[in-house]
């Protein structure tokens, strides 16, 4: 049965701030060799029905779950769910994996109504809430202020950041040390033979030339291929991720751990420190890792 204009408006209204593609989600899940029920359980859901509906685009996942979904599938959230335009306040909250109520509970002096008013562009956040909320979301205060300005339709001041070393610089250095007369075909064949990755010469050439990783691996295979390259050269995978990407990845992993264990990421007093539950989980992980032979 064809959809009506009213159906289409409803569908558009349900779309999250990031672009969502059910077929792309299904491809990424199969690429990670996970079942729908495994993804559902990773998100704290008891059945696979929600995931099945997302893949059929009968429903859209809550925006605050998109980062966790991408983390479970091992795909960058900006690859799996690309964003159109810069973040506003609601986008920052969703990227941090919080509902309005959950975020408000973490910050002393903030309630969900005040947060809702700020996200709706009706009343700005009190100044004393900017720093604790930015710590909760894992961004700098000036980034949160810029997002709030966008929410209220005001021009945001540009945020100056230092450009981290590019992946191309690291990769070129590794290639020159490993091959006497390297070619893209040589590196692609060597990585694929050792790791089973599906790296193409064209992708190698693009990476060495400095193309953005998300553009080179638009199919969502970024994590798999970078793991393969790191394994081939015998370097930590994080060596292939720039400083900003590394910080975002660590924050994403911490948020996923908190959601998986059903605990708060930060302390309830809003001082930006990790919660007692989160510290216990990290201590347990480190202890078990050190005990392995």
What phi and psi values does residue 274 have, to the nearest 5 degrees? -70, 150
Q: Picking from 105-119, 129-143, 204-218, which range would have the lowest pLDDT averaged per residue?
A: 204-218
Q: Tell me how many helices (H) and strands (E) the chain has.
A: 18, 0
- Cβ within 8 Å of residue 261, ≥6 positions away: 277, 281
Q: Looking at domain 5-80, what is its CATH homologous superfamily? A: lambda repressor-like DNA-binding domains (1.10.260.40)
Whole-number Å distance between alpha carbons of 93 and 102 = 10
CA atoms within 13 A on the CB side of 155: 2
Domain 89-151 listed as CATH 1.10.260.40: yes
For residues 170 and 239, the answer to whether their CB atoms sit within 8 Å is yes
Average pLDDT of the chain to the nearest whole number? 79
Q: Label residue 161 by pLDDT band (50, 70, 90).
A: very low
Residue 194 or residue 117, greater confidence: 117
Mean pLDDT of 195-205: 81
Q: Could you give the CA distance from residue 215 to residue 49 in angstroms, rounded to a whole number?
A: 32
Cα–Cα distance measured from residue 29 to residue 21, given in angstroms and rounded to the nearest whole number: 12
- Identify the band that residue 246 occupies on the pLDDT scale cut at 50, 70 and 90: low
Q: H-helix or E-strand containing 175?
A: helix 167-178
pLDDT, residue 219, reads 65
CA 169/CA 246 separation, integer angstroms: 16
Q: What percent of the chain has pLDDT over 90?
A: 25
Per DSSP, 49 falls in state H
Which residues lie closer than 8 Å to 107 by C-beta, 6 or more apart? 129, 132, 133, 136, 270
pLDDT of residue 120: 92
| pLDDT tens for each residue of 128-149 | 999 999 999 988 898 899 999 9
pLDDT of residue 248: 64
Q: Where are the domains of the chain?
A: 5-80, 89-151, 169-234, 243-291
| Same topology between domain 5-80 and domain 89-151 | yes
pTM over 0.85: no
pLDDT on residue 14: 41
Rg for the chain, CA atoms, rounded? 21
Answer positive or negative: Cα dihedral of 22, 27, 32, 36: positive
For residue 267, pLDDT over 80 is answered with no
């Amino acid at each position: 049965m064809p959809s009506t204009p009213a159906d289409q408006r409803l569908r558009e209204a349900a779309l999250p701030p990031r672009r969502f593609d059910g077929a792309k989600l299904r491809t990424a899940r199969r690429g990670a060799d996970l079942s729908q029920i495994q993804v559902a359980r990773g998100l704290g859901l008891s059945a696979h029905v929600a995931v099945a509906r997302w893949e059929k685009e009968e429903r859209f996942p809550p925006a605050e779950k998109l980062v966790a979904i991408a983390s479970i599938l091992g795909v960058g959230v900006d690859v799996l769910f690309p964003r159109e335009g810069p973040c506003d306040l609601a986008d920052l909250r969703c990227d941090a994996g919080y509902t309005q109520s959950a975020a408000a509970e973490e910050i002393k002096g903030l309630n969900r109504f005040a947060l809702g008013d700020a996200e709706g562009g009706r009343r700005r956040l009190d100044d004393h809430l900017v720093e604790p909320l930015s710590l909760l979301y894992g961004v700098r205060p000036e980034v949160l202020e810029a997002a709030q300005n966008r929410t209220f339709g005001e021009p945001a001041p540009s945020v100056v950041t230092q450009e981290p070393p590019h992946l191309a610089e690291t990769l070129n250095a590794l290639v020159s040390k490993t091959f006497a007369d390297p070619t893209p075909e040589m590196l692609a064949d060597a990585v694929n033979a050792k790791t089973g990755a599906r790296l193409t010469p064209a992708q190698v050439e693009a990476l060495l030339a400095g193309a953005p990783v998300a553009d080179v691996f638009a199919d969502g295979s970024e994590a798999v291929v970078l793991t393969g390259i790191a394994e081939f050269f015998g370097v930590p995978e994080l060596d292939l991720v720039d400083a900003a990407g590394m910080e975002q990845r660590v924050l994403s992993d911490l948020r996923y751990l908190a959601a998986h264990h059903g605990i708060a990421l930060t302390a309830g007093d809003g001082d930006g420190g990790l919660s007692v539950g989160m510290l216990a989980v990290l201590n347990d992980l480190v202890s078990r890792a050190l005990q392995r032979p």
